[in-house]
Amino acid sequence: MNKAINDFIVRFANVNGTGSASANYLFAKTIFRMGIPVTPKNIFPSNIQGLPTWYEVRVSEKGYLGRREGIDLMVCVNPQSMAQDVNNVKPGGYFMYDSTKKLPDNYLRDDIHYLGVPMMEMSNQAFSDPRKRQLLKNIIYVGALSKLLNMDVEEIKKLIGEQFEGKAQLIEANMVALKLGIDYVEANFEYPLSFHLERRDLIGDKIIVDGNTACGLGAVYGGATVMAWYPITPSTSVAEAFEHYCKEYRIDPETGAHKFAIIQAEDELAAMGMVIGANWNGARAFTATSGPGVSLMNEFLGLAYFAEVPAVLVDVQRAGPSTGMPTRTQQPDLLLAAYASHGDTKHVLLLPSTPRECFDMTAQSFDLAERLQTPIMVMTDLDLGMNDHISEPFHWTDERKYDRGKVLNTEELEHVGRFGRYLDVDGDGIPYRTYPGTHPTKGSFFTRGTSKDEYAAYTEDGAAYKRNMDRLLKKWETAKKLVPLAQLYQKTKQSDVGILFFGTSQFSAEEAKDLLAEEGTFVDAIRIRAFPFGQEVVDFVESHRVIFVIEQNRDGQMRNMMIMEFGTDPSKLIPVLNYDGMPITADSIKNQITNFLNKEKTQHHELSKTAL
Amino acid sequence: MSYLKPLFRHPKLPKNKLGYTLKEYEGSLSTLCAGCGHDSISAAIVQACFEMSVEPHKVAKISGIGCSSKTPTYFLGNSHGFNSVHGRMPSVATGANMANKDMVYFGVSGDGDSASIGMGQFVHVIRRNLNMVYIVMNNGCYGLTKGQDSATADQGSKSKAGSINPFQAIDLASLAIELGASFVAQSFSGDKQQLVPLIKAAMHHKGFAFLNVVSPCVTFNNNPGSTKSYDYVREHIEATSTLDFVPEMPEIKASYGEGKSTKIALHDGSLLQLNKLETDWDPEDRISAVNALQQARVKHEILTGLLYVNTEWKDLHETLSTHSKPLNKMDESELCPGEENLQAINSGYR
């Protein structure tokens, strides 16, 4: 039986569209306010109302924020998924259910405990409005949990007060529901459970927020003025967050004029076209989408690469191919994004792991896009984008200036001599550009996706085409020095075995590293934060005998990119994969690594026997 | 390969208000086929911009892919141009326009570019009433890929190879009116007298101005039996009106018959003076405009001139309430909410 303090998993089984989300969030946020590391994850269907949805909350005193298998307490208010939910509780765990209706016998297991709370009945007695009955039933179970898990009720009340500020009646009703849950547990069960919460101070100044909000906010801080997008799960809330913060901070209080333009486009092609048009004309513009949208944007991404127009794209990845599993997480768009479009193309990718990095990298992506005059793609995923994560707070300094890149103004054009739009003046592969409307007679040029010479004149001269393609490669080399460095977990090499990961695999990979160490296997680690890879990534790969490449897709896409980009011996890059649509777990990573190393040992043993 | 035109011009070329001659509005030498209707349209754009004394660098030319989309190289050499992706000019123009509202946007497209691959974007840019001049150089065929029928080729029209087009034509002008375009005109590349004032009016119109210009393809679609050949178009053309574009508040000319003259004021105070040749047609009434087009169709006539105009509808910038200062002119002091606000935002997530 789990007797741990601040170390357990609670899963809520709800029906989509019944208002459970805010009750569940209330539960998670209270734990956060109690100073305890907590990771909530939505597991939801591609549906608006009526299908099963789950919310899983992991509490970890040690601060492990990845997903873990094994459910200690299931709160099931969905008869539809009840059979499955009963089975998912780990032996010795608890199953809380709405006992308004008797639990069918076939749901009874000998090895778990049952906590029946007549939520619906209590709610029906206490409240007359049918909609309220439904919503407040959820608060009743939060009340019950608060007692069972030793939650700080004052924090819950404070949060309810914040959520319904100014709506006294609603606050009152919530308080009634909360108390119903508390009283029921006090009267009927022993409490707290063997595993429960104790207030800590492990959060510091951290925040809890989802990655999409962070991306939207990062775009506001990064100076994006034009956003064009097409609705697609799981990226839609990036646009919503951008709009929300624009409305808060970018409307002229006197005139009501907007310092932003948001367009819901007719499709992703148009969204990317608008982004490119706006960037071409000197505004910072971006889009947010997911895999299917990136597929549609391919042609435009090639244009932006070749015509050298800045663009920013936030790809909140979900499981593909095709429509795939639109509400499940994966990292399956790496190859699609990195080499998007026909012809020889390579694109800069940024790989955030936390909301703080979503904010930082989205803001930075505009500087990079304008500096490098090329598309920058911020690759997050559904897990990071749509789930709340504990994160370092957002940071900005007022001294920070936008890097608008190499843009010639009217004055500079007067003195520049003959302007060559695609001329590599500085030797870094990055030419100078001009915005339309800058100078009456100088600096105008024709932007096109066809081959051109250094002065932007159309040409089919093979030598000029090749010079241009080679300069783009030189620019790619420059990009390596500008993108965020990989994070190394050790100052000097400690082991000849390394693990390599990126994005949301970070949390489980770090935990797996600790789990391996507990078993006496010590590994070095690196977290990649961008593509193209910097020298530090090459060095790490070269200096380790075996590198486990941890990623959330079937084909080991990052591994393939490493083989392609620096010709590493494929046999030393061992894929550690997860692609069932759920976030990768530490146990899975640890097991895959241990299995490989054990097999390697046995083989080595066999080989040495053969040699004898 | 584009050639540069000789810089020499007759020293006594007339100058416009800005002191520019026509030369300042020209582009590179065209590489289209000799006699291509598109070149006449380019010349009309040059003429219109010259006569209106537009600063060439305050114009942006955006196109898709195809013969028509090549033409922005051949006019307004001092303007920025963007030859983008097939069928996607409207989205690029939309983004560009959002970035800087203080410029004139010319979108150039063809019948393949707009009526087939780009139909989706064509439809939606109309819906948004983007402030731009959208010109379709309509020749009923795909020139660059050697003359396949396009979606605007008339049913029954004969191709150069002798095949008869079995499909219904998409009538872009009717469609534009139907979708709510706020300015719709139709013309013929061979009728500069009509085309130049239409372009001027379109540039002054605040909102989406659509010009469908029948522009014969001399190489692939100028044969007997084609309904987009020079001969056929000349024989079947029927003008709605003659149009005078009056950039400033005008003296009303009295040379037209009573009841046949209509004046339409544009946002910027300029005036359209329409002298109607068609009866039963009111350019500010959508139903009558669509009616006139349909009736012309039955009679196998190509109705030209200004077909419909609405000066009331908001353009996209108005709909989105964007700031009077162009978005691309704003810096961090205007755009970034700053450190202090971020701290408050952080507190909201604790």
Distances (CA, A) of A395 to A48, B340, B343: 35, 10, 8
pLDDT at A607 over 70: no
Residues of B in contact with A308 (CB under 8 A): none
**CA dist., res. B283 & res. A212, Å (int):** 48
Q: Does B2 touch chain A (CB under 8 A)?
A: yes
**How high does pLDDT run on average in chain B?**
90
Q: Which of B95, B322, B337 sits opposite A273 (nearest CB)?
A: B95
Given a contact cutoff of 8 angstroms between Cβ atoms, the answer to whether A490 and A513 are in contact is no
- Tokens read off for B119: 């139909």
- Spatial CB neighbours of B177, under 8 Å, sequence gap ≥ 6: B184, B286, B289, B290, B293, B307, B308
Segment A346-360 shows an average pLDDT of 98
Domain B22-327 is classified in which CATH homologous superfamily? Answer: Thiamin diphosphate (ThDP)-binding fold, Pyr/PP domains (3.40.50.970)
CB atoms within 10 A of CB B156: 12
pLDDT at A4 over 60: yes
Residues of B in contact with A275 (CB under 8 A): 95
> Exposed (0-12), middle (13-18) or buried (19+): which is A364, by Cβ within 10 Å?
buried
pLDDT in tens, B208-231: 999 999 999 999 999 999 999 999
What does DSSP assign to residue A112?
A: S
Per-residue pLDDT at A50 = 80
Beta-carbon separation of B80 and A434 below 8 A: yes
Please give the interface size between A and B, counted as residue pairs whose CB atoms are below 8 Å apart.
237
Kindly identify which residue of chain A lies nearest to residue B337, measuring between CA atoms.
A249
Per-residue pLDDT at B242 = 81
Segment B278-294 shows an average pLDDT of 87
Beta-carbon separation of A446 and B78 below 8 A: no
Beta-carbon separation of A263 and B88 below 8 A: no
Residues of B in contact with A267 (CB under 8 A): 120
Per-residue pLDDT at B266 = 78
Q: Which of B82, B83, B124 sits opposite A266 (nearest CB)?
A: B124
Segment B255-262 shows an average pLDDT of 52
Strand pairing partners for A341? Answer: none
pLDDT at B15 over 90: yes
Q: Does B98 touch chain A (CB under 8 A)?
A: yes
**CA dist., res. A537 & res. A498, Å (int):** 11
Q: Which of A205, A401, A436 sits opposite B332 (nearest CB)?
A: A401
- Spatial CB neighbours of A34, under 8 Å, sequence gap ≥ 6: A151, A152, A155, A197, A199, A200
Per-residue pLDDT at B254 = 34
Kindly identify which residue of chain B lies nearest to residue A451, measuring between CA atoms.
B1
What does DSSP assign to residue A151?
A: -
Q: Does B328 touch chain A (CB under 8 A)?
A: yes
Beta-carbon separation of B92 and A276 below 8 A: yes
What does DSSP assign to residue B333?
A: H
pLDDT in tens, A176-232: 999 999 999 999 999 999 999 999 999 999 999 999 999 999 999 999 999 999 999
Q: Does B299 touch chain A (CB under 8 A)?
A: no
Beta-carbon separation of A270 and B77 below 8 A: no
Strand pairing partners for A8? Answer: A59
Per-residue pLDDT at B263 = 77
pLDDT at B257 over 50: no
**CA dist., res. B345 & res. A359, Å (int):** 12
Per-residue pLDDT at A472 = 98
b/e burial code for range A155-194 (CB count within 10 A of at least 16 → b): bbbebbeeebeeeeebbebbbbbbebbbebbeeebeebbe
Where residue B269 falls among pLDDT bands split at 50, 70, 90? confident
Per-residue pLDDT at A611 = 56
Beta-carbon separation of A273 and B72 below 8 A: no
Beta-carbon separation of B120 and A266 below 8 A: yes
Given a contact cutoff of 8 angstroms between Cβ atoms, the answer to whether A497 and A543 are in contact is no
pLDDT at A353 over 50: yes
pLDDT in tens, A26-50: 999 999 999 999 999 999 888 877 8
pLDDT at B6 over 80: no
The residue type of A166 is G
Q: Which of A255, A445, A449 sits opposite B85 (nearest CB)?
A: A449
In B120-189, the DSSP E strands lie at 132-138, 141-142, 148-149, 183-188
What does DSSP assign to residue B163?
A: P
Nearest chain A Cα distance for residue B150, angstroms? 22
Given a contact cutoff of 8 angstroms between Cβ atoms, the answer to whether A247 and A269 are in contact is no
Strand pairing partners for B104? Answer: B59
Beta-carbon separation of A275 and B95 below 8 A: yes
pLDDT at A2 over 60: yes
Q: What percent of chain A lies above the pLDDT cut of 90?
A: 94
Nearest chain B Cα distance for residue A505, angstroms? 23
Beta-carbon separation of B346 and A207 below 8 A: yes
Q: Among A510-524, A540-554, B279-293, whose mean pLDDT is lowest?
A: B279-293
Q: Does B66 touch chain A (CB under 8 A)?
A: no
Q: Does B320 touch chain A (CB under 8 A)?
A: yes
**CA dist., res. A585 & res. B108, Å (int):** 54
Q: Rounded to the nearest 5°, which phi and psi values hold at A519?
A: -95, 10
Where residue B251 falls among pLDDT bands split at 50, 70, 90? very low
pLDDT at B256 over 60: no
Beta-carbon separation of A441 and B91 below 8 A: no
Residues of A in contact with B123 (CB under 8 A): 266
Per-residue pLDDT at B40 = 96
Where residue A354 falls among pLDDT bands split at 50, 70, 90? very high
Q: Which of B56, B88, B321 sits opposite A269 (nearest CB)?
A: B88
Residues of B in contact with A262 (CB under 8 A): 320
Kindly identify which residue of chain B lies nearest to residue A258, measuring between CA atoms.
B322
Domains and CATH numbers, chain A: 7-188 (3.40.920.10), 209-391 (3.40.50.970), 410-482 (no CATH), 487-611 (3.40.50.920)
Considering the entire predicted model, what is its pTM? Answer: 0.95
Beta-carbon separation of A278 and B88 below 8 A: no
Per-residue pLDDT at A606 = 72
Segment B222-246 shows an average pLDDT of 88
Distances (CA, A) of B290 to B169, B208, B280, B307, B311: 16, 17, 12, 8, 18
Q: Rounded to the nearest 5°, which phi and psi values hold at B205?
A: -70, 130
Q: Does B225 touch chain A (CB under 8 A)?
A: no
Beta-carbon separation of B342 and A395 below 8 A: yes
**CA dist., res. A139 & res. A155, Å (int):** 14
Q: Which of A32, A206, A274 sits opposite B95 (nearest CB)?
A: A274
Nearest chain B Cα distance for residue A367, angstroms? 12
Beta-carbon separation of B91 and A279 below 8 A: no
Of A206, A237, A167, the C-alpha closest to A29 is A206
Q: Which residue of B122, B346, B347 is the best one to mutate when testing the A interface, meaning the one whose CB has the most A CBs within 10 A? A: B346
SS3 B177: helix
Residues of A in contact with B120 (CB under 8 A): 266-267, 269-270
Beta-carbon separation of A446 and B57 below 8 A: no
The residue type of A277 is G
HSE (side-chain half, CA atoms, 13 Å) at A153: 19
Distances (CA, A) of A27 to A66, A131, A136: 18, 21, 14
- Tokens read off for B350: 């604790």
Q: Which residue of A38, A258, A444, A452 is the best one to mutate when testing the B interface, meaning the one whose CB has the most B CBs within 10 A? A: A444
Q: Which residue of A203, A213, A225, A445 is the best one to mutate when testing the B interface, meaning the one whose CB has the most B CBs within 10 A? A: A225
Helix (H) or strand (E) holding B237: strand B237-239
Q: Which of A435, A436, A457 sits opposite B2 (nearest CB)?
A: A457
Of B267, B255, B249, B264, the C-alpha closest to B305 is B264
Q: What is the length of chain B?
A: 350
Of A408, A409, A404, A400, the C-alpha closest to A367 is A404
The residue type of A434 is T
Domain map of chain B by residue range?
A: 22-327
**CA dist., res. A297 & res. A274, Å (int):** 11
> Exposed (0-12), middle (13-18) or buried (19+): which is A2, by Cβ within 10 Å?
middle
How far apart are the two ends of chain B, measured CA to CA in Å? Answer: 62
The residue type of A612 is L
